Amino acid sequence: MTFLSAARPCQTGHPSLTVTSYGDPEARRLTRALHAEQVAVYGFADDPDGTPASHYVLPQGLFVIARCDDSPEAVGCGGWRLLSPGTAEIKRMYVTQEGRGRGIGRQILEHLESQAVSRGVIRMVLETGVRNDAALALYRSCGYQPCPSYVPGRDSSVNRAMAKSVSLSTSTVSAH
């Protein structure tokens, strides 16, 4: 795989998260890197350019990037968007190779969940690849459980749908 980021890892262990437009150049760089990794692993992937930036604008959604140690280059990203009243989907979660293993993905996910809950979301859903062991482990450790696919036409031998019930106390959640 080719990694498109030369960002240095978080030395402090605490990335800063910034709300940004899905069309922001750093967000686009990261979502394209995610796409390239997915294509390398599976031979195909959803095109990040096919998702309208308007899906990630409050109050219908949100997109964030993560930076480490005041580095100008972001090392992670993710977003949520409403699918239906009370249900939001986590999308485009990605951490560069250099940023992995430092809890950045968990921090992004927890921030996205809390922001969605503050806007009335009670159920989060997401989809990841069956070969993405790190993502599957992260989502399971954060309370996500396998669920039926919510995206028409998905191949369950490639995609894994997961869901989680959330509340204002995101530290105590129940999985569906």
* Whole-number pLDDT of residue 69: 78
Q: How confident is the model at residue 34 (pLDDT cuts 50, 70, 90)?
A: very high
Which residues have C-beta within 8 Å of that of residue 111, sequence separation ≥ 6?
17, 64
* Whole-number pLDDT of residue 168: 73
Distance CA 165, CA 52 (A): 26
Mean pLDDT, residues 16-26:
96
Q: Please name which of 175, 173, 4 lies closest in space to residue 77, comparing C-alpha atoms.
A: 4
Query: What confidence tens digit (pLDDT) does each residue in 70-123 have?
Result: 567 999 999 999 999 999 999 999 999 989 998 999 999 999 999 999 999 999
Residue with tokens 């806007």: 119
Which residues have C-beta within 8 Å of that of residue 157, sequence separation ≥ 6?
130
Distance CA 30, CA 161 (A): 22
**Has residue 52 got a pLDDT over 50?**
yes
Q: Please name which of 166, 172, 101, 113 lies closest in space to residue 138, comparing C-alpha atoms.
A: 101
Q: Which two tokens stand for residue 13?
A: 């262990």
Query: What confidence tens digit (pLDDT) does each residue in 117-174 have?
Result: 999 999 999 999 999 999 999 999 999 999 999 999 888 889 999 999 998 764 434 4
Map residue 156 onto helix, strand or coil: coil
Which residues have C-beta within 8 Å of that of residue 82, sequence separation ≥ 6?
60, 61, 88, 89, 121
DSSP state of 66: E
* Whole-number pLDDT of residue 9: 52
95: burial class by Cβ within 10 Å (0-12, 13-18, 19+)? buried
**Has residue 13 got a pLDDT over 60?**
no
Measured N-to-C along each axis, helices 133-141 and 104-117 cross at an angle, to the nearest 10 degrees, of: 50
Q: Which CATH number is associated with domain 16-165?
A: 3.40.630.30
User: Is residue 130 within 8 Å of 159, Cβ to Cβ?
Assistant: yes
Q: How far is CA 135 from the centre of its chain?
A: 9
